[in-house]
Chains A and B, each alone.
Chain A
Amino acid sequence: MHAKFAIAASLLASALIAGCQTSSKLELEQRTAPTTYNSVTFTDYDLNRNFSGGIPGPDKVFRITTDKHGIRRTPANTSEVFVVLRNHTDYNSILEARTQFFDQSEIPTDVAPRWQRVVVPANSTSVYLEKSTTTAQLKYRVEVRQAK
């Protein structure tokens, strides 16, 4: 009787632990992260995920990361954002990225952002570039997703 009870209890406990692990995996830091400026965000969490602490502890899974990003002036005094994307997998990755520009008061400005394709070869890097149309000093927010 005691042996049966112990088996049932251990089964229940392992099911509970598995359940907790699943819920912690679903709780993604990036989904609830506050909007930041002069930043790159992965809107496709299959590319880059931060898991908050659960029973297995904090974890990070990534296929694509950003090596470097920034903004500079063009000869016509408009702005150009650059993002160096790094592919950590053995497969070529076709991504899409877009940039929303903001003025110094953090109000969205410039033309509507549009998705542009970027191919990042396996275990290599590529640069995504996007130019603004205005000559004002700008902040940026780049979004990256997988191309369909």
Chain B
Amino acid sequence: MNAFKPIAILGAAVLVSACAPSRVDNAAGQPSVYQDVGSAGRVQGVGIESQDVVAMTDKMMRSLLSNPMVSNRPTPPRVLIDMEGFKNESTSVINLNMLAKRLQIELTRAANGRMVFVNRQNLAAIQKEREIKREGLVDGGTIRKTQATAGVDYQMFATITSQDAIDRQSQMRQRYHYISFEMVDMELGTLVWGDGFEMSKATQDNVLYR
């Protein structure tokens, strides 16, 4: 009878271990959520964020279209907007192509023929197509033939600048951004339009932008 006792205890222990919960973390977790691109998101720092890009490009588009020298000409001017004309001199990390592309696409949609946008990013593909048309490998298309690709009347230049300050005691940091936009006459070298966007942000948490 006494020999039976250890066996019973061992059996109970085996049963208890078999019933112990598994180590798989089956919690629902935090699901990813969609956010309004025009409003501040859950992760906020002192850098340039989606709501700043949206507000900045929207403001510039409206400002440019209300300028009669650019948007009210009898012959629509040829405009170049690409990241070659954009410079980041600030301490913020920002994809310049995103800024240039958003501005160009929004302007293209809103201008509705009041400006003609020149594409230089795909110049190699355009040249190749022109060559095979002229070699007779393909026909001439349905629109027209031109001596050369379009020359640019105006080009957009933008510069992002910033000024940082940190409180050593509280580790509070603030950053002031000024982003200038200029439209330059590419024949005469004069400025036909200019506008700016500025903002100042302060935070205690450190956010990493990529």
Contacts and interface: CB of A to CB of B under 8 A. Distances in A.
B116 interface: no
A25 to B, nearest CB: 27
B103 to A, nearest CB: 13
Interface in B88-127: 106, 109-112
Contacts of A115: 38-39, 51, 55
Given A114-B38, A132-B62, A76 B199 contact: no
Given A111-B58, A117-B55, A75 B39 contact: no
A78 B55 contact: no
B72 A76 contact: yes
Interface stretch (B1-9, B24-32, B63-71, B160-168): B63-71
B63 A131 contact: yes
B61 interface: yes
Nearest to A115: B38
The number of chain B residues touching the other chain, given as a range, is 20 to 34
Contacts, number: 52
B55 A111 contact: no
B59 A78 contact: no
A4 interface: no
Contacts of B39: 115, 148
B40 interface: yes
B61 A111 contact: yes
Contacts of A132: 62
Interface in B35-88: 38-40, 51, 54-55, 58-59, 61-63, 65-68, 71-72
Given A114-B54, A116-B59, A133-B110, A78 B65 contact: yes
A131 B65 contact: yes
Interface of A: 74-78, 80, 110-111, 114-117, 130-134, 147-148
Interface of B: 38-40, 51, 54-55, 58-59, 61-63, 65-68, 71-72, 106, 109-112, 199
